Amino acid sequence: MLRNSGLLAFAAMHPDLILANLDTAERHIASNRKKITEQITFIAWLNWLRKDSTGAKALLREFEMRLAAHITDRERLRAQLAYVASSGEQTARHGLTETRILKLRAAV
């Protein structure tokens, strides 16, 4: 079922699935940030050695684009999680208790 909340439109998901996907997105963000840092260092070394860094710079841009996509996914998942935690319909449908709702809100 497609939900529309202002500018956000997304399919309702089970909170555990959202949390699992959010965890994956966070890992991807951390991994991409590390790759970007390493690539910047590599480009600096190439420049210091006066070597061609064109290919390395292109790869850096690709890493940056992936990072932006993962950040976008993370923000979408956070919005979904906030929606599920605040929605009475979703709360009943997923059998969320008050304690579980507080944990979900803390994850956002």
- Is pLDDT above 70 for 47? yes
pLDDT in tens, 11-37: 566 888 999 999 999 999 999 999 999
| Torsion sign, CA atoms 82, 84, 88, 89 | positive
The per-residue pLDDT for 56 is 98
The per-residue pLDDT for 16 is 86
The per-residue pLDDT for 103 is 61
Distance CA 66, CA 52 (A): 24
Per-domain boundaries in the chain: 14-107
The CA-atom distances, in angstroms, between 58 and each of 3, 30, 92, 97 are: 38, 20, 49, 48
Kindly state the helix (H) or strand (E) to which residue 5 belongs, with its residue range: strand 2-5
The per-residue pLDDT for 81 is 87
